[in-house]
Amino acid sequence: GAGVSQSPSNKVTEKGKDVELRCDPISGHTALYWYRQSLGQGLEFLIYFQGNSAPDKSGLPSDRFSAERTGGSVSTLTIQRTQQEDSAVYLCASSPLLGRQNYEQYFGPGTRLTVT
Q: Which residues contact other proteins by CB under 8 A?
A: 33, 35, 41-43, 45, 48, 55-56, 58-59, 91, 98, 101, 103-110
Which secondary structure element, helix H or strand E, spans residue 94, and what is its range? strand 88-95
Whole-number minimum distance, CB 18 to other proteins, in Å?
25
Q: Report in angstroms how near the CB of residue 68 gets to other proteins at its nearest.
A: 17
Amino acid identity of 113? L
Q: Which is closer to other proteins, CB of 18 or CB of 98?
A: 98
Nearer to other proteins, 56 or 68 (CB): 56
Find the shortest distance in angstroms from Cβ 63 to other proteins: 20
Residue whose CB is less far from other proteins, 22 or 80: 22
Report the C-alpha gap between 64 and 17 in whole angstroms. Answer: 11
Residue 80 or 112 with smaller CB distance to other proteins: 112
End-to-end, the C-alpha distance of the chain in Å comes to 37
- Secondary structure of residue 102 in the 3-state scheme: coil
Q: Which residues, at least 6 apart from 25, have a Cβ–Cβ distance to it below 8 Å?
A: 4, 32, 73, 74, 75, 92, 94
